[in-house]
Amino acid sequence: MNRIGVIGTGYVGLVSGTCFAEVGHKVVCCDIDESKITRLKQFNIPIFEPGLEELVKKNAAEGRLSFSSDIAGVIKDSAVIFIAVGTPMSASGEADLSYVKEAARMIGRNMNTHKIIVTKSTVPVGTGRLLESLIRDNLPDSSQTFDVVSNPEFLREGSAIHDCMNMERAVIGAGNAQAAEAIAELHAPFETTIFKTSLESAEMIKYAANTFLATKISFINAIANICGKVGADVTEVAAGMGLDSRIGNKFLQAGIGYGGSCFPKDTYALKHIAEEAGYSFKLLEAVIETNENQRLLIMDGLVQSLGSLRGKKIAVLGLSFKPNTDDVREAPSLSLIPRMLEMGADVCAYDPIAIREAGQYLPDEVDYAHELYECVTDCDACVILTEWSEIVNMDLERVHRLLRSPVMIDGRNCFELDVMRAHQFEYHSVGRQVIRTAVPAAVTV
């Protein structure tokens, strides 16, 4: 059993720490936010992630997982220290390393034995070397030894527990082979592929992987936009592309673009890294621009169907950036709903989990429904922004009856065209034929 300290109890730190505890390690997750630690000790989990609360309770009860606001004490008691603090995007697009730097200084000040410091946070290339310098500058005893390792996370919100317990690979970047092997041994219970690299390569792998996936999304969305103009169906095109083993079918689902905590931040950060290195990353610039423009398709569909939005009531289904999370960072809802309001529409929004979170960022004029069918009742159009299973499996016949006019703008291509035609919706999706067979519907509750 290894003694592991995790600095930062956000998404990455809490999930990673809990999973390391689950495979047998002794883990203490710590944070400077004392109120957050108090809530965690009461099993009040600050994020929605399927299976996380149950796993936290289990490992806490079995004595492998605990929480503390005494960061200095956790540093002194741990053999391995993971830095899992936030690296938000700054105004320039680069990653803000303020929290990472402060964690390094605290580690240096409280170093009492040899430690292995591992960066889980997504950080620019060169950060590992910077941390080495910051820790060394803050050592009370300059003869004290330590190692810095990069071990980037590859967790998907909504399936993070599964991703960690069944990780495809563990990337371990280090200058010291013994330190790299020690972190590899921590991952042994996961029975995953271990890939050892230099510090710099490990840091770059995280950015390269995320921006490549973002590129696939923007590429298929650009193809979808062409399909919509030439009469092709992007779902068929994507399926045909995906049969090529060199391409694969993942991340080829056309829609209104990516959001969340990783892809937007990481694409901008890598663009900034490239600029600092003197390289003009035109391809990545196009990926970012394509994604930012993609969500505007929703407004095009609304205007085509309704003309002026003034006085129209719009139902918005889905507020989180993806299903199975309450994360609304860079979610399409946060930019599209204010635009609808500016154009004079009344908006009623529904999400099974993210209403509370989204409500902190959306204008006060938004009404919220706590049930899907309540949300669509007497609306002039229904807009789908998140493909929650409840939304994908909704009763279309009932929705058709409840809408004032059966117009659906689907930003996630949730339904087959033949199904929407049979239910007599006017149906706008991404990269597919517009269905215009809608007939007026009488509202019945």
Is residue 154 a known part of a binding site?
yes
Question: Is 322 labelled as part of a ligand binding site?
Answer: yes
Backbone angles phi, psi at 347, to 5 degrees: -120, 130
Residue 380 marked as a ligand binder = no
122 is in an annotated binding site: yes
93, with CB counted inside 10 A (0-12, 13-18, 19+), is middle
Does residue 164 carry a catalytic annotation? no
Structure tokens at 325: 């999370």
Residues in contact with 279: Cβ distance below 8 Å, sequence separation at least 6, in sequence order: none
- 119 marked as part of a ligand binding site: no
Q: Is 157 annotated as a binding residue?
A: yes
Residue from 398, 337, 345, 346 nearest 371 by CA:
398
**Residue 63 in marked binding region:** no
DSSP letter (8 states) at residue 336: H
Query: Is 254 flagged in the annotation as binding?
Result: yes
Q: For the residues of 145-159, what is the DSSP string, one character each? A: -EEEEE----PPTTS
Instruction: Report whether 155 belongs to an annotated binding site.
Output: yes
Catalytic entry in 19, 29, 30, 262: 262
What is the rounded distance in angstroms from the CA atom of residue 26 to the CA atom of residue 144? 24
Burial (CB count <10 Å: 0-12, 13-18, 19+), residue 364 = exposed
User: Does 87 count as an annotated binding residue?
Assistant: yes
Burial class (CB in 10 A: 0-12, 13-18, 19+), 238: buried
Say which amino acid occupies 324: N
The reply, when asked if residue 321 is annotated as ligand binding, is no
Where do the H-state alpha helices sit in 49-126?
52-61, 71-77, 98-109
Helices and strands per DSSP (H, E), number in the chain? 19, 15
Q: Is 184 annotated as a binding residue?
A: no
* Strands lying side by side in the sheet with 26-30: 65-68, 26-30, 3-7, 80-83, 115-119, 146-150, 169-174, 193-197
Tell me which DSSP letter residue 247 carries.
Answer: T
Terminal alpha carbon distance of the chain:
59
Residue 282 annotated in ligand binding: no
Whether 288 and 265 have beta carbons less than 8 Å apart is answered as no
The answer to whether the annotation marks 144 as part of a ligand binding site is no
Active site residues: 262
The binding site consists of 31, 36, 87, 122, 154-157, 206, 251-255, 259, 265, 322, 329
The binding site for substrate consists of 154-157, 206, 251-255, 259, 322
The binding site for NAD(+) consists of 31, 36, 87, 122, 157, 265, 329
